[in-house]
Amino acid sequence: MAIALPEPIRDLLVDCMEGIEGARWQGEEQLHLTLRFAGEVDTPLANDLADRLGTLTCPPFPLAIRGVGHFERKGHPRAVWAGIAPSPELEVLQRKVERACQEVGLEPEHRRFTPHVTLARLNSASGPIAPFLLARSGLASAPFTVDGFTLYESHLGETGSIYEPVVRYPLR
């Protein structure tokens, strides 16, 4: 479950996606803000989840890109991302999505929700990220309106995950 980004926001992000040797940059069509990753689920559970998500209510709200950062695993950078300006409305929507997942039987998400848009995946052969992070520390967008979210199905391809929209849920 994720928020798709409008074209001007995707363009802004694509324009900053360079400067780390060996990074696997996301394609423009792959850029999104994940609300909850469900993992491998069987068809009946996926159908229950799709139905439950359709009952969520939340008014549209503004969101903006603010800054960049990275995730590490065992002290090594694994991804660089664009951050999201603080948004109480986003937090409410994410909690409602998490609750819906648990109500249909998914395990609770144990990681803290860190709103972000993944720009690149990294491995041990990737170059240093500090120059990228410093050069883009002021990355920011004008606010854009979030008027829905999408249930995606992911498929592992040669260049990483490919996200296919299944159902879009308008906010109301």
Q: What is the pTM of this model?
A: 0.94
CA distance 124 to 23: 10
Domain with residue 91: its CATH number is 3.90.1140.10
What are the b/e assignments for 40-75, b being 16+ CB within 10 Å? Answer: ebeeeebebbeebbeebebeebebebbbbebeeeee
Provide the residue range defining the domain that includes 139. Answer: 2-170
Query: What's the domain count of the chain?
Result: 1
pLDDT higher than threshold 70 for residue 119: yes
Amino acid at site 1:
M
Amino acid at site 95:
R
Q: Can 32 be counted among the known catalytic residues?
A: yes
Q: What is the pLDDT of residues 20-62, one digit of tens each?
A: 999 999 999 999 999 999 988 999 999 999 999 999 999 999 9
> Of 70, 76, 110, 116, which is the active-site residue?
116
Q: Where are the alpha helices (DSSP H) in 7-166?
A: 7-15, 43-53, 88-103, 130-135
Q: What is the mean pLDDT of the chain?
A: 95
The pLDDT of 131-156, averaged and rounded, is: 95
Q: Which two tokens stand for residue 48?
A: 């229950």
Q: What is the pLDDT of residues 56-115, one digit of tens each?
A: 999 999 999 999 999 999 999 999 999 999 999 999 999 999 999 999 999 999 999 999
What's residue 86's pLDDT? 98
> Of 32, 70, 76, 110, which is the active-site residue?
32
What's residue 154's pLDDT? 83
CA distance 147 to 70: 27
What's residue 159's pLDDT? 64
